[in-house]
Structure 1
Amino acid sequence: MTSGTGSTPATGPTPATPATGSHAPSRGASTPPATPDPATRRRGRPPRAESGDTRDRILAAARAEFSERGYEKTSVRGIAKAAGVDSALVHHYFGTKEQMFEAAIEVAFAPALKGRDAVLAGPLADAGERMTRMIFGLWENPATRTPLLAIVRSAVNNDTAAAALRRLVSAQLLRRIAGELGTEDAELRAELAAAQLVGTAMLRYVIKVEPLASADVEQVIARLAPVVQTHLTGA
């Protein structure tokens, strides 16, 4: 080992020179586009695979919000918060609050629309009883009564909600029934039959007027069905 004042101080490693071989990218060469990070996806727009589940989650949240708060106090922002999504996503799937309400009541009325087909399937001579049983069956069942109560209360208190309900009932229920009657005043007959049923249901299940509210449902049906039948097919 050599020592002394004339020794040359040690130097650090020489920095590596960038390679200039064939593997180095040339100036101006195109670079393949980077794959978008899923985290940077546009806010409020889920992947297609998730869209069905997301829509169902929003619709379930909307039904719960409308049921709990009514149409007036429910907001798109509140629905979005309950569903765990951005408000823009609610608008993307359903548009306005009114359209959201229409989608919610269509789900609530799905059993009635299925029952409509059963009402129309049999002879007109006893359609009044089938229609009466269908309507009261919905109200007697707690699973369907709760959303119906919320819809009716919203429609009573808000003109926009009432219009949405009216469009659904007219297009999906009354016109279909009227189409089977084959008379010039078929629409009026169907509406009178529906008014008889809805009015009685309001007194029994919403306002709860006694003794109607606590009367045996079979007794109510037995008295009401002939009246509904008269509206549908009577002279």
Structure 2
Amino acid sequence: MSSNKIPLRPGRRPGKSETRTQILDSARRAFSQNGFARTTVRAIASDADVDPALIHHYFGSKEQLFTAAIDLPLDPKSVLTPVHSSTDDQLGISLLTAVLGVWESEHQDAILAAFRSAITGDGTRLIQSFLLNIVLRDIIPRVDTPAGTGLLRAELVASQIAGLLVTRYILELEPLKSLSVDALVPLVAPNLQRYLTGKLPIQPERPT
């Protein structure tokens, strides 16, 4: 009987569900240990003992595999489209609106479960990678002024967003928890904007 499925490596014949689980388990380990940027599809495939083409067949890109590995129920690219199309002076507002829009959506329970799992287990590197390599990656070169400050700016923004998510959705501190998004964005977005495009009281590090 012929098959159009991409073959596994010789000697392994697991079913589709088992193979997908193997890939996700290997991906979580790799992303947790090495972060997003230093993890390759080939290394994940080697650990899962499958052909790299099979990963692309099931998940598409490395970004999509990462999204599946941390159990996000939506595509970050579609969520971040308004951020990437915004002007530099509106980055803080558009970024915070996009993030809060996801957390306040019908996906909140699934996202909260994934977030809780990551911060209480070995997944803190996954959160770091998600914020810096998925959410903020394309913003870094836009805000790298003066040269060498882009990554620091992104990390400052990540610290603010992560802290807000924890206090509002995990610790449920009041009255922060009960504020509407319309009320919360004007309170927090200016600080994000300052991190992104404002003057920082430091000298950027330059390579020696």
Indicate whether the TM-score tops 0.5. Answer: yes
Aligned residues: 156
Match of residue 66 from structure 1: none
In 2, Cα distance between the equivalents of 1:162 and 1:140?
A: 22
1:139 aligns with 2:70: no
Amino acid aligned to 1:115: V
Q: Tell me, yes or no, if the aligned pair for 1:178 and 1:186 is still in contact at 8 Å.
A: yes
Q: 1:232 aligns with which of 182, 189, 196?
A: 196
| Pair 1:105–1:129, CA change in 2 (3 A) | farther
- Quote the offset at 1:108 in angstroms: 1.5
Match of residue 96 from structure 1: 26
Amino acid aligned to 2:119: V
Map 1:213-224; keep pairs closer than 5 Å.
Answer: 213-224=177-188
Map 1:3-22; keep pairs closer than 5 Å.
Answer: none
Match of residue 166 from structure 1: 128
- What 5-or-longer segments of structure 1 have no aligned partner? 1-35, 39-46, 52-79
Map 1:54-203; keep pairs closer than 5 Å.
Answer: 87=18, 90-91=21-22, 93-94=23-24, 96=26, 98=28, 102-105=66-69, 108=72, 110-143=74-107, 145-159=108-122, 161-183=123-145, 184-203=148-167
Q: Tell me, yes or no, if the aligned pair for 2:83 and 2:94 is still in contact at 8 Å.
A: yes
- What 5-or-longer segments of structure 2 have no aligned partner? 7-13, 30-43, 45-64, 200-208
In 2, Cα distance between the equivalents of 1:232 and 1:127?
A: 8
1:205 aligns with 2:182: no
Q: Tell me, yes or no, if the aligned pair for 1:106 and 1:168 is still in contact at 8 Å.
A: no
In 2, Cα distance between the equivalents of 1:120 and 1:103?
A: 19
SS of residue paired to 1:108: coil
Instruction: Judging by fraction of residues, say which structure has more helix.
Output: 1
In 2, Cα distance between the equivalents of 1:223 and 1:155?
A: 27
In 1, Cα distance between the equivalents of 2:135 and 2:19?
A: 32
Q: RMSD of the alignment, in Å?
A: 2.9
SS of residue paired to 1:130: helix
Q: Tell me, yes or no, if the aligned pair for 1:178 and 1:187 is still in contact at 8 Å.
A: yes
- Quote the offset at 1:217 in angstroms: 1.9
Match of residue 32 from structure 2: none
SS of residue paired to 2:98: helix
| Pair 1:108–1:89, CA change in 2 (3 A) | closer
Runs of 4+ in 1 over 3 A off after TM superposition: 84-90, 99-103, 109-112
SS of residue paired to 1:141: coil
- Quote the offset at 1:202 in angstroms: 1.5
In 1, Cα distance between the equivalents of 2:144 and 2:88?
A: 11
- Quote the offset at 1:140 in angstroms: 0.7
| Pair 1:220–1:95, CA change in 2 (3 A) | closer
RCO greater where, 1 or 2, for CA within 8 Å and sep 6 or more? 2
Amino acid aligned to 1:165: I
In 1, Cα distance between the equivalents of 2:183 and 2:94?
A: 15
In 2, Cα distance between the equivalents of 1:172 and 1:109?
A: 15
- Quote the offset at 1:88 in angstroms: 5.2
1:200-234, Cα deviation, whole Å (9 max, x unpaired):
12211121111111122211111111111001001
